[in-house]
Chain A
Amino acid sequence: DIQMTQSPSSLSASVGDRVTITCRASQSISSFLNWYQQKPGKAPKLLIYATSTLQSGVPSRFSGSGSGIDFTLTISSLQPEDFATYYCQQSYSTPPIVTFGPGTKVDIK
């Protein structure tokens, strides 16, 4: 099974900061990597799919990059509403067995 790791597990940042979260797969997953944002008590929200494609309605300060095993989610200028937990998710396996990363919590410094 493909395992996903994320780093850091948590970070503290200020409004306006540039934030980078890394996700690593245990084997190559091509570009089959998606990112989600989850706020307390809410369902996850899709931010980016296929490594770098922004989901409709998601602000352009969010971006994704990477390929193979290493992927990055970047928030170019952190906004108050961005304080949340972020999860990566791979969907490369056949049949499509989904695996999520353990999450990265972004809170206020």
Chain B
Amino acid sequence: EVQLVESGGGLVQPGGSLRLSCAASGFTFSSYWMHWVRQVPGKGLVWVSRINSDGSTTSYADSVKGRFTISRDNAKNTLYLQMNSLRAEDTAVYYCARVFGYNAFDSWGQGTLVTVSS
């Protein structure tokens, strides 16, 4: 069974940093591109970042470019999102998601809540 489990969320002050992790199991992690998507509670889905299967190529939404870094450790079957210079508007539930053909997200984690507040 495919499983994605996020961790690392919590309360952080503006300007602070946080690293999210997404532990994958039940599939060959190193074969899939992975993404982070976030959602302010009660609002819509917003794409954050993506990384290709070997970690050599990344992309970011303009809103997080230069502050967030996506990475992966295929030996540990884990996806990461390093978030620096956090702002109140980064407050959201962060989901990791697996992509297959047509860039459709066929598996999602349960989400981890990041709250940026003083």
Contact = CB atoms under 8 A, between A and B. Distances in A.
| Bound pair (A, B) | yes
A103 B50 contact: no
Interface in A11-60: 31-32, 34, 36, 38, 43-46, 49-50, 55
Contact of B47 (A32, A36, A97): A97
Nearest to A6: B44
Residue from A43, A96, A103 whose CB has the most chain B CB atoms within 10 Å:
A43
B72 interface: no
A66 interface: no
Interface residues of A, number: 24
Interface secondary structure of A, over-half rule = loop
A46 B47 contact: no
A14 to B, nearest CB: 25
A55 B47 contact: no
Interface residues on B, range: 20 to 34
Contacts of A89: 45, 104-105
Interface stretch (B11-19, B24-32, B81-89, B107-115): B107-115
B44 A102 contact: yes
Nearest to A45: B108
Nearest to B105: A46
A87 interface: yes
Q: Which 7 residue pairs across A and B have the least CB separation, nearest first? A: A91-B103, A49-B104, A43-B108, A98-B47, A100-B45, A34-B104, A50-B102
